[in-house]
Chains A and B, each alone.
Chain A
Amino acid sequence: MVLDVVEAILGFPPVWQVLVVGFGFSLLVSVVAVWFERKTAARVQRRLGPYWASPRLGGLLHLVADMLRYAFQQVIIPRGVDMTPFLVAPIVGMVISILPVAVVPFTSNPQYWPLPPGAMEYSLLIALAITTLPPIFIVAAGWASNNKFAVIGGLREAFIITAYELIAILGFLAVAAAVGSFNLAVIAEAQNPVKWFMLLNPLAFLAVIIAVAMSTSAFPFEIPESESEVVAGPFTEYSGLLYALNMGGAYMRRFIYGILIALTFMGGWAPYNPGEGIFAGYIVPSLIVTVKALIIVLAISFLRAVYGRYRLDQALDIAWRLTLPLALLGLALGIIQAFIGLA
């Protein structure tokens, strides 16, 4: 009886998709992305980076050691904080940041879609709606910390949210307009094999990449957590596992956005046609999508080695004056493509 209920819960596709792809993969990807970021920055600056923990793996185990340290570090909770939001915000923020995976199809085979085909019609909209939620918890964490650095960091995050959300959504909707469907599976199938929207609509792609970099504090826009100005931004008062949740949450969000970009702009499982059965129908295409998402994450990580940090006003200037018109142009291009039937 109990086992049946557990089996029914775990066998429900959105649940295991969130647990395996969402949590497991994004944890792995965030470790690899942090390692790649440090290693790339070191390489471009002609240093060595993490090395001695495991010379053959290029220091990859260094990050595992870092994670273990965070896991066993003492969690210090200051006396002045607002206890409930202080504890709840990082946990809920991280959980919500991986929730969009619950509605994302990893294959064109309807048998393995997480939602019934009727509900899949709105999967892009649902996923985009969920991706806009986690920053609220970052602001809440900063506000609950009762610390001036945390409040300033949360305020900067709030400015950044208002700037990037519209751009990201308009950029993704350009593709939906071109295809004429909000169904992520239909969008990905429409690009098969090489009609990728990355090539057809580079304006929207660029706008979305910039918006993702802003939303996840990637380097030119690493404004809420800039160490040299506000100690760790909204996460100043956090320590131990809660800090790891906060910092890992940004990389997980980047990975989830990477999955959405892989599906909408890079053709999803594009060179491959999903077949029947669990292996050919689900595992291979989901791995292809994950690898494409990983490429997006690593490309954004590479920017750390090249760019300095923008000021808040420069970032908002870029968002409102350059990237928003870029996203609108991308949307117009998508509508034109739908009109002439290119996509």
Chain B
Amino acid sequence: MAPKPAVKTLPRRGSLIDGVKGNLQALIVGLKYFLDPKRFTLVYPKEYSKLPKGYRGFIILNKQKCISCAACARICPSAAMKMIRIPVKDPKTGKTRMKQYPVINYQRCIFCGYCVDVCPTEALYHVPYHDVVYENLSEMFWDLETFQKEPEYKTAKEGSPVKFLIHEEYGLIKVPAEEGG
């Protein structure tokens, strides 16, 4: 069966007035944005975005509350959290036995917060920041001691806080925010 001959059609050309109107409208929109751009680039060392309450930042372990259920390690979608076995002295009987605790690999963590949600005793919690500097990758494997300490917050604290809001006309806009609260 022979292929059907395809007829190439060109889109119909609009009228001259439409073309002039469209060009003028484009220029007016460009001028409007040129005069009032409402930029939303985050000028990072001079500004930092203020993080909201409940921000899913770094995850810290409260070892006293941990009951070694391993729910966090099982739910972790990126297999960042693992359980390790360490010897613990039982205060009642005085005998030493092995107990499981979670440790985390921040090379793999995607900060989804499932482990914090699933923890039955609220032994895991988020700190509300994300900007921590590591000098090499092996520092991002946290052992049990590091996992209990909140890391040093190294964001640009000398700048001013800003937050991003939805604007009806411009989409996303940047407004200065109050620190604290």
Contact = CB atoms under 8 A, between A and B. Distances in A.
Contact of A46 (B16, B26, B27, B38): B38
Interface stretch (A162-170, A192-200, A302-310): A302-310
B30 A305 contact: yes
Contact of A306 (B16, B26, B38, B43): B26
Contact of A48 (B16, B27, B38, B43): B43
Contact of B34 (A40, A47, A51, A307): A40
B39 to A, nearest CB: 5
Given A40-B34, A43-B33, A44-B34, A306 B41 contact: no
Contacts of A44: 30, 33-34, 37
Interface in B19-57: 26-27, 29-30, 33-34, 37-41, 43
A302 B31 CA distance: 9
B34 A43 contact: yes
The 7 closest A-B pairs by CB, nearest first: A306-B30, A48-B41, A44-B33, A43-B37, A46-B39, A46-B37, A306-B26
A51 B59 CA distance: 36
A44 B30 CA distance: 6
A46 B34 contact: no
B48 to A, nearest CB: 16
A195 to B, nearest CB: 26
Interface residues of A, number: 13
Contacts of B34: 40, 43-44, 302, 305
Residue from A43, A45, A51, A322 whose CB has the most chain B CB atoms within 10 Å: A43
A38 to B, nearest CB: 13
A48 B47 CA distance: 14
Nearest to B172: A46
A322 B33 CA distance: 29
A47 B41 contact: yes
B33 A307 contact: no
A302 B30 CA distance: 9
Contacts of A322: 16
A191 B16 CA distance: 31
A46 B43 contact: no
Interface in A14-73: 40, 43-48, 51
A44 B35 CA distance: 8
Contacts of B37: 43-44, 46
Interface in A280-318: 302, 305-307
Contacts of A306: 26-27, 29-30
Nearest to A44: B33
